[in-house]
Chain A
Amino acid sequence: MIEVKNISKKFKQQTAVDNISFSVDEGENFVLLGTSGCGKTTTLKMINRLIEPTTGEIFINQKNIQEQDAATLRRHMGYVLQNIGLFPHYTVAENIAVVPNLFKWDKERNKTRVFELMEKLHLSKDYYNAFPGELSGGQQQRVGLARALAADADILLMDEPFGGLDPITRTHVRDDFKNLEEFKKKTIVLVTHDVQEAFELADKICLMDKGKIIQTGTPAELLFKPANDFVRQFFDDQRLQLEYKSVTIGMLWKFIKDDTSTNNNSLKEISTDNNVWQVLELLSINDKANALFVRKGEAIKKIDHASLMKAFIDYKKAN
């Protein structure tokens, strides 16, 4: 879907992005991760031509973006900014409908779409005619998300979308966003410096440093098969939590011992998509019923704290 080929960007003397290549598949959530100044935002902005690369090419659906009209190209990509960037003189509804209006949608369709998105993003209808200044930071970013989704573009570019929010609001907005069907459907390129956020949202993480890509892979690949010491050290601070978050029950399946002794009826069921972190949380909440069960096809396995930990250690050894 998105193919980045050998792009570089030089600002006067400084090389911000140094000959990088990657591709993002349709529907994939691709996270550009790195510290400030590593070139991740520059890379993102080259995808919708807010910045033009010095050398290299970018293809979207096999078409070179340099050969397309920049404004038209951008209308077909959602964009979420860290600073939100709502138009203060437009109402919430007008802000959301910015791109549909550029496409000259009719009024009814516009209105329906705005209400639909406001509901999805948990924005009260009362805000329809409000101005962004009357909203809280979290609400403003929800409007920002709605604006990016309004014209239902296939691609969504997100530049530190939750970076400007306080930690609690950030978690709320992020969780709501994650639960949207659009989040699952769309091809998303997201820039963040927040490792936790990257692991929570990414199908694939591209770790960058000094304008170069250090490693691209699934979160688990980065954790368990780091390309070099830089990658290893990058996650060291939060390694255990990240490992819990990046390993799913599905990945652990073969390491969980079969135990059909207990009656599963009284236990809560979880899915193979749940990661270790989530299961541990559930186990600590349900301390009375300190076990859960999981189904994979016909097979059923019971999980308690001890069996989960053992399976996790075995998984790590195997990798």
Chain B
Amino acid sequence: MEQQQSLWDFIVQQRGKLLDQTIAHVGLTFISLLFAVLIGLPLGIFIARRQKAAAIVLNIAGVLQTIPSIALLGFMIPLLGIGPLPAITALFLYALLPIIRNAYTGIKEVNPSITEAATAMGFSKWQTLTKVELPLAFPVILAGIRTATVINVGVATLAAYIAAGGLGEFIFGGISLNNTNMILAGAIPAALLAIVFDFLLSRLQKLNLKKLRITVWLLPAIILLLSSFYVLPSFEKNKLLAGFTPEFMGRQDGYLGLTSTYKLKIKNVVISDAVMYKAAYEKKLDVISGYSTDGRLKAFDLIVLNDDKKIFPPYYAAPLIRNEVLQQYPEISPVLNMLSGKINDSIMTELNYEVDYLKQSPEKVARNFLIKNNLYKKARNGNKGTIRLGSKIFGEQYILINMYSMLIRGNTDLKVDTKTGLGGTKICFDALTNNQIDMYPEYTGTGLLAILNASPEMVKHLTQSKDSVYAYVSNQFKQKYNLVWLKPIGFNNAYALMMRRAQSYELGIHSITELTNYIDKKEK
């Protein structure tokens, strides 16, 4: 076992990447803030004078604010695709409400006898606005900008989901990879950015009236400067573009393996698994890092490139269960093993397709499958005890968990409690070891790499056969964590590189080696 890397080591090692991400993060935050101020401030001033428009505008901005950020990013993809544009648009929409509302309130709250005095002294409307109303509303407007900045620093982490960069790349990569250092290397700078900007803006707010005048000029300059940090990542035409998940980027059996074993030099962006397949289908991306049993493979007519140098270890799914539970309820083991050998890659892809693409409920898909295979039995509604099942947050795991619940209810007197949608490997595994769930379906490759952190040599050695990986993780998990791997279900949900079927045939690329050769040829 390798020595655990410290957070500091990680930061030092990844400092270039960290700096890039931080700069991109600051840039994303402020470029969207800049637009929000440019649009929101005049709008707020305008509605301060039109009561009817005020209600409409504030309501619309308020509704936008209530859309969950990840959903808002999701909405952006069909409209604006992936990359910086939808990310900046979403952040802009989030920043809009506090800025409009505070500009409106700030102007409204200026004492009417002061504006009357200004008019009576012979100020023009513009002079009244710029010399009296805006300076007096400035602290309130600034408070709005401050709120918007902090919101944006937070939401900008999600930009990593749609290939717009930022500190989210480390955070989501770390969560997927069970790499605490990586999570912290993204989360700590993000939190620091929020704290630092909040503090600086709060200092601005407290400046006395005299110094305020300088601020009025300084602030736009600073926002402009910080926005310029985000030099839009260029999307060159006529070159293959890859989209890889944050997790894939950080893995030896992922991007790192691609570069070291295949010497693949493909231009790539980081993107969420949730939008990756669609982006490939819509030709926003050409190569993606998917999972070999993903239903969207079928839905979007993608094909898997052959891993001819075998860098992706096998990922056979099997129930991972706490040994205490097996001792307590020995009848559960044969029930959970009922699925073994029943589902191969193409069946799993088909089931995933039904759930992910045809939008059937995982429960219905699970029941239909069990009925078809004569495994379905009516629930016995027993009262012997409760088994807590967990799942990761994707369709395949939901289907499996539904199958297992039905099998347990039908074949034993145990009750089932499901905790589905646990964010990632780390969250599921921690829940299991902390006795918060009893079992979840795990993949042998994930166990080997993400949990046991096996050394590259060990991985290379084991990857040659699926049985050796299973044997190794079974053994290690039993010793280290007192967890038991039951029989593999049969399908291998491994990492894979995918392309659109049409493009693959057109370019004659069917394996990763062919892809590498194609790109190398193009470069020359």
Chain A contact residues, CB within 8 Å of chain B? 48, 50, 71-76, 79, 81-89, 98-99, 102, 131, 147, 157
Contacts and interface: CB of A to CB of B under 8 A. Distances in A.
Given A88-B136, A89-B136, A81 B120 contact: yes
Contacts of B189: none
Contacts of B121: 74-75, 79, 98-99, 102, 147
A132 to B, nearest CB: 10
B209 A83 contact: no
Contact of A50 (B120, B127, B135, B212): B120
B122 A81 contact: no
Nearest to A147: B121
B114 to A, nearest CB: 5
8 contacts: A50-B119, A50-B120, A73-B122, A76-B122, A85-B111, A85-B114, A88-B114, A99-B121
A209 B117 CA distance: 26
Contacts of B427: none
Q: Among B122, B132, B212, find the residue whose CB has the most chain A CB atoms closer than 10 A.
A: B122
A87 B132 CA distance: 7
Interface string B289-301: 0000000000000
Contacts of B13: none
Contact of B123 (A48, A71, A76, A131): A71
Contacts of A75: 121-122
Contacts of B132: 87
What's the dominant secondary structure at chain A's contact region?
loop
Contacts of A82: 113
A290 B118 CA distance: 53
A131 B212 CA distance: 13
Interface of B: 111, 113-114, 116-124, 127, 132, 135-136, 209, 212
Contact of B122 (A72, A83, A86, A89): A72
Contacts of A74: 119-122
A65 to B, nearest CB: 13
Nearest to A73: B122
B340 to A, nearest CB: 77
A86 B209 contact: no
B117 A79 contact: yes
B114 A87 contact: yes
A50 B116 contact: yes
Nearest to A157: B120
B123 A102 contact: yes
Given A74-B121, A79-B117, A84-B117, 12 more contacts: A50-B116, A50-B119, A74-B122, A79-B120, A81-B113, A81-B116, A81-B117, A83-B111, A85-B111, A87-B136, A88-B114, A89-B135
Q: Report the 4 A-B pairs with minimum CB-CB distance, sorted nearest first.
A: A85-B117, A75-B122, A83-B113, A79-B120
B209 A102 contact: no
B132 to A, nearest CB: 6
B113 A84 contact: yes
A306 B39 CA distance: 79
Contacts, number: 59
Contacts of B119: 50, 74
Given A88-B136, A89-B212, A102 B122 contact: yes
Contacts of A79: 117, 120-121
A42 to B, nearest CB: 13
Contacts of B135: 89
B209 A131 contact: yes
A89 B114 CA distance: 11
Contact of B120 (A48, A72, A89, A131): A48
Contacts of B122: 71-76, 99, 102
Contacts of B127: 102
Nearest to B118: A87
Contacts of B123: 71, 102
B354 to A, nearest CB: 66
A212 B81 CA distance: 69
A50 B121 CA distance: 10
B494 to A, nearest CB: 66
A102 B127 CA distance: 10
Contacts of A98: 121
B117 A87 contact: yes
A89 B111 CA distance: 13
Nearest to A79: B120
A131 B213 CA distance: 14
A88 B133 CA distance: 11
A82 to B, nearest CB: 8
Contacts of A71: 122-124
Contacts of B113: 81-85
Contacts of B212: 89
B127 to A, nearest CB: 8
Contacts of A147: 121
Contacts of A48: 120
A178 B114 CA distance: 25
Contacts of A157: 120
Contacts of A73: 122
Contacts of B114: 85-88
Nearest to B128: A71
Nearest to B110: A88
A85 B118 CA distance: 8
A50 B119 CA distance: 8
Nearest to B125: A71
B325 to A, nearest CB: 70
A134 to B, nearest CB: 11
Contacts of A89: 135-136, 209, 212
A76 B120 CA distance: 10
Q: Among B113, B116, B121, B132, find the residue whose CB has the most chain A CB atoms closer than 10 A.
A: B121
Contacts of A85: 111, 113-114, 116-118, 120
A94 B122 CA distance: 15
A131 to B, nearest CB: 6
B120 A86 contact: no
A83 B114 CA distance: 8
A99 B117 CA distance: 11
Contacts of A83: 111, 113
A83 B117 CA distance: 9
B113 to A, nearest CB: 4
Q: Among B120, B127, B209, find the residue whose CB has the most chain A CB atoms closer than 10 A.
A: B120
Contacts of A87: 114, 117-118, 132, 136
Contacts of B111: 83, 85
A72 B123 CA distance: 9
B117 A88 contact: no
A275 to B, nearest CB: 33
A181 B116 CA distance: 27
